[in-house]
């Protein structure tokens, strides 16, 4: 299996009952029945993030495939409204053809927009452009008890009511099935380049790089901006310059983890890895994805990261170790919120930290 194949995604297990609603009304009808029958429901986009969080058993799968496509794209407003089941790769290809991007994860496999939002996944450009959650302007969802709700709005700046788009980002389906989102877009920059270096440059070396990615093979500084700016910074950094954005391959291995620490602790985190560990470290962000089967090592690293306010979570594969680690101290409050949106707890039950 090549590294890229590993993150392509997965179809629901063979024999699973799959429901594919074509819109919020049909979805609400199904969820009302599911609530009545106390069915456990899995929410499925591209199946790329199923290993993130607790394994949940389910009676039926809701696929978002029937709610896909661009509903409204207004380039001059830098906004696009898309169905949850829209393929990230296809959306980005379409937006790129119009000179724009939603800055969604760059190696999405079969991931859907709804899945990226529900899992709160971000791409490498977050160092420069912020995480995905800062670009979700509006969210529409059907709650566990089948209410079709909307939060946020289709404008790039908004403080009108509670921030449901951020609440839904990273909620793993527990608050409802996301049906569509409005995303904030960015124009594609004039130029991009990748500078390959042996060492990680100090953070003062570049004003706002797009990403600084370290792997066992070396460091790549990703740049985007005007042609003159990219040329100038690349020259200053030295090293080998490649045109365009050259991302490292996704981390190979059966079990892949993500360590999240305050950015200043990233070098020390990487320093703790046993020799021959595969990893991609995002400097300035504080996230490093790595492969490890030695559960004792992962446990130690987790304890260390958690003491600093961070976490080590499983992103791919299976193991006997808790996939999330210590749940947040606000678990009871989170439990109340989940119950307010899915009182019968039918959606992705038990998936969240703390088993919510």
Partner 1 sequence: MGLVEELTALLGEERLTVDPFALFMYSTDAGASRGSADIVVFPETTQEVAEIVRIVSRHDVPIVARGAGTGLAAGAVPSEGGVVVSMTRMNQIEEVDVENRTAWVGPGVINLDLSVATSPLGLHFAPDPSSQSVCTVGGNVANNSGGPHCLAEGSTVAHVLALEVVLADGETVTLGSSAPDPLGLDLRGVMIGSEGTLGLVTRILVRLLPNPPDVRTLLLAFDTVEDAAATVSGIIAAGVVPAALEMMDQAMAVAVENWLHGGLPVEAAALLLAEVVGETAAVEAEAELIRRVGTENRARSIELTADEEKRAMLWKGRKSAFGAVAQTAPDYYLHDTVVPRTRLVETLTQIYEIAERHQLAIMNVFHAGDGNLHPLIAYDAEDHQQTERVKKAASEMVEVCVSRGGVLSGEHGIGLEKRDYMPMLFTPTDLDAQARLKECFDPEGIFNPTKILPLGSRCFDLGSRPVPDGAWV
Residues of span 162-221 touching partner 1 by CB under 8 A: 162-164, 166-167, 169-171, 174-175, 186-190, 204, 207-208
CA distance 181 to 150: 9
Using rule CB under 8 A, residue 352 touches partner 1: yes
Q: List, in sequence order, every residue forming a beta bridge with 87; answer none if it has no partner.
A: 112
Considering only 104, 285, 292, 301, the residue that binds partner 1 (CB under 8 A) is 285
CA distance 21 to 251: 34
Which stretch of DSSP H or E encloses residue 118?
Answer: helix 113-119
Q: Which of 109, 73, 79, 114 lies closest to 94, judged by CA?
A: 73
**Least separation in angstroms between CB 315 and partner 1:** 11
Q: Which is nearer to partner 1, 4 or 226 (CB)?
A: 226
With b meaning 16 or more CB within 10 Å and e meaning fewer, what string describes 260-288?
A: bbeeebbeebbeebeeebbbbbbbbbbbb
3-state secondary structure of 283: coil
Q: Which is nearer to partner 1, 12 or 354 (CB)?
A: 354
Tokens at residue 156, please?
Answer: 């790039």
Using rule CB under 8 A, residue 157 touches partner 1: yes
Q: Which is nearer to partner 1, 3 or 327 (CB)?
A: 327
The total of other beta-carbon atoms located within 10 Å of residue 240's CB is 11
CA distance 297 to 334: 30
**Count of residues near partner 1 by CB under 8 A:** 94
CA distance 43 to 179: 11
Between the alpha carbon of residue 280 and those of residues 42, 62, 263, the distances in Å are 30, 33, 14
**Least separation in angstroms between CB 190 and partner 1:** 6
Which stretch of DSSP H or E encloses residue 63?
Answer: strand 60-63
Stretch that binds partner 1, among 139-147, 241-249, 271-279, 294-302 (CB under 8 A): 139-147
Q: Which is nearer to partner 1, 228 or 272 (CB)?
A: 228
Please give the residues from 33 up to 72 whose contact with partner 1 meets the rule CB under 8 A: none
Considering only 1, 15, 76, 307, the residue that binds partner 1 (CB under 8 A) is 76
Stretch that binds partner 1, among 7-15, 59-67, 154-162, 193-201 (CB under 8 A): 154-162
Kindly give, in sequence order, each residue whose CB lies less than 8 Å from that of residue 52, ignoring residues fewer than 6 positions away: 119, 172, 313, 314, 315, 323
Mask 91-110, x = binds partner 1 (CB under 8 A)?
--------x-----------
Mask 299-328, x = binds partner 1 (CB under 8 A)?
------x--xxxx-x----------xx-xx
Q: Judge whether 315 and 52 are in contact, CB under 8 Å.
A: yes
Stretch that binds partner 1, among 11-19, 105-113, 156-164, 248-256 (CB under 8 A): 156-164
**Least separation in angstroms between CB 152 and partner 1:** 8
Using rule CB under 8 A, residue 232 touches partner 1: yes
Considering only 11, 264, 268, 293, the residue that binds partner 1 (CB under 8 A) is 264
Using rule CB under 8 A, residue 345 touches partner 1: no
**Least separation in angstroms between CB 236 and partner 1:** 9
Considering only 6, 9, 27, 28, the residue that binds partner 1 (CB under 8 A) is 28
């Amino acid at each position: 299996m090549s590294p890229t194949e590993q993150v392509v995604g997965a179809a629901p297990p063979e024999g699973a009952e799959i429901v594919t609603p074509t819109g919020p009304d049909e979805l609400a009808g199904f969820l009302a029945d599911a609530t009545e029958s106390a069915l456990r429901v899995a929410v499925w986009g591209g199946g790329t993030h199923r290993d993130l969080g607790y394994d949940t058993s389910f009676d039926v799968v809701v696929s978002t495939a029937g709610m896909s496509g661009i509903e409204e794209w207004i380039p001059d407003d830098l906004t696009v409204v898309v169905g949850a089941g829209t393929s990230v790769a296809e959306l980005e290809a379409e937006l790129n053809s119009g000179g724009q991007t939603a800055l969604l994860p760059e190696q999405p496999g079969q991931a859907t927009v709804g899945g990226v939002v529900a899992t709160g996944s971000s791409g490498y450009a977050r160092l420069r452009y912020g995480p995905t959650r800062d670009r979700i302007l509006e969210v529409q969802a059907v709650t566990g008890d089948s209410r079709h709700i909307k939060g946020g709005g289709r404008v790039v700046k908004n403080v009108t009511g509670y921030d449901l788009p951020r609440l839904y980002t990273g909620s793993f389906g527990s608050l409802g099935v996301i049906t569509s989102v409005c995303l904030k877009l960015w124009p594609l920059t004039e130029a991009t380049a990748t500078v390959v270096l042996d060492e990680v440059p100090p953070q003062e070396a570049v004003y706002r790089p797009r990403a600084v990615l370290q792997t066992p093979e070396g460091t790549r500084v990703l740049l985007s901006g005007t042609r003159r700016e990219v040329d100038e910074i690349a020259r200053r950094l030295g090293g080998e310059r490649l045109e365009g954005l050259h991302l490292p391959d996704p981390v190979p291995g059966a079990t892949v983890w993500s360590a999240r620490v305050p950015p200043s602790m990233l070098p020390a985190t990487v320093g703790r890895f046993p020799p021959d560990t595969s990893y991609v470290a995002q400097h300035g962000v504080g996230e490093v994805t790595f492969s490890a089967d030695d559960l004792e090592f992962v446990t130690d690293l987790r304890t260390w990261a958690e003491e600093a306010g961070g976490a080590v979570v499983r992103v791919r594969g299976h193991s006997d170790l808790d996939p999330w680690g210590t749940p947040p101290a606000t678990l009871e409050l989170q439990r109340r919120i989940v119950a307010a949106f899915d009182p019968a707890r039918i959606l992705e039950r038990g998936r969240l930290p703390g088993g919510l």
